[in-house]
Amino acid sequence: MIVVTGATGNVGRPLVQTLMAAGEQVTAVSRRISAQDVPSGARYRQADLAKPDSLRPALHGAEALLLLTSPDFMANGDLSDVMNVAREAGVRRVVLLSSQGVGTQRHPSDLEDAVRRSGLEWTMLRPGNFDSNALQWAGSVRTQRAVAAPFGDVALPAIDPADIAEVAAVTLRGPGHEGNVYTLTGPTPISPRQQAAAIGDALGESVRFIELSHAEAREQMLGYMPEPVVEATLGALGAPSAAEQRVSPDVERLLRRPPRTFAEWATRNTAAFK
């Protein structure tokens, strides 16, 4: 059995669907989850990684575990405790959804360190910018046909969360991924201005781009991100390193097809912007 934490999010939800379609037994875990959140046949359990003991019932009989932590976990949780619970439950393999920022040293490595110390088989997934981050613009696109963002012409190879989910499924199900770190990107760098245009193309209407200052963007992001994460994110968005702008071959190698484009993501998600 495979346990997926963060099962109601942009990666966890399609991952559960992918695993179920492949015939796996799956337990979907989230702090708030119901039968409506999972495919028919999937088990689901409410649990909070910040309270590791709450995870024990979900891990009964599990062989593999996908760990997806919430933004507030660094302040409220200890992944070493979660790993202890997983090991005691008999879990053999852990896949951690980490961040490209760990590899570029913009983000701390605490979560990866805890997994490495656990003694379990591990795989690290390090995605960069998510295509789904564009959903933060949905309200302004619906009401004003406008996107407001900083660093309008700085391009990063954003990745479709559905591709992250498919890579996670491969690493959870198959052998040969133990001790590997995969950097996950989309097929080509794309700027916020280009993303706004792609959303407009998907809608069949023009979408204006409004460039925010660093200070304006910081103030907005502090409303839903811890300050250290805001600073690291703005650094990566505004002055990315060569490594952060580089397209990784890992998605294509693991999935045997090119990563999906942002335009494909926008087309699938037009309802959010109408």
Domain total of the chain: 1
Tens of pLDDT, residues 100-114: 999 999 888 999 999
pTM of the model: 0.94
Three-state DSSP state, 183: strand
pLDDT of residue 225: 78
pLDDT of residue 73: 84
Evaluate whether residue 241 is within a structural domain.
no
- Residue 216: inside a domain, yes or no? no
With beta carbons less than 8 A apart as the criterion, state whether 153 and 193 touch.
yes
pLDDT tens string 3-19: 999 999 999 999 999 99
Q: Give the chain's residues under pLDDT 70.
A: none
Q: Can you give the pLDDT at residue 220? A: 86
Q: Say if 112 falls within a structural domain.
A: yes
Q: In this structure, is residue 94 part of a structural domain?
A: yes
Asked if residue 225 lies in contact with residue 233, where contact means CB atoms within 8 angstroms, the answer is: yes
Residues of the domain holding 104:
2-127+160-184+248-257
Q: Which two structure tokens, joined as six digits, stand for 68?
A: 């997806």
pLDDT reported for residue 16: 98
- Contact between 217 and 202 (Cβ < 8 Å): no
Give the CATH number, domain containing residue 102.
3.40.50.720
Cα–Cα distances (Å) from 98 to 68, 182, 210, in that order, read 8, 10, 31
**In angstroms, rounded to a whole number, what is the distance separating the alpha carbons of residues 135 and 196?**
11
Is 15 a member of any domain? yes
Residue 111: C-alpha distances to residues 96, 244, 263, 274 (Å)? 8, 20, 32, 38
Q: What is the pLDDT of residue 188?
A: 98
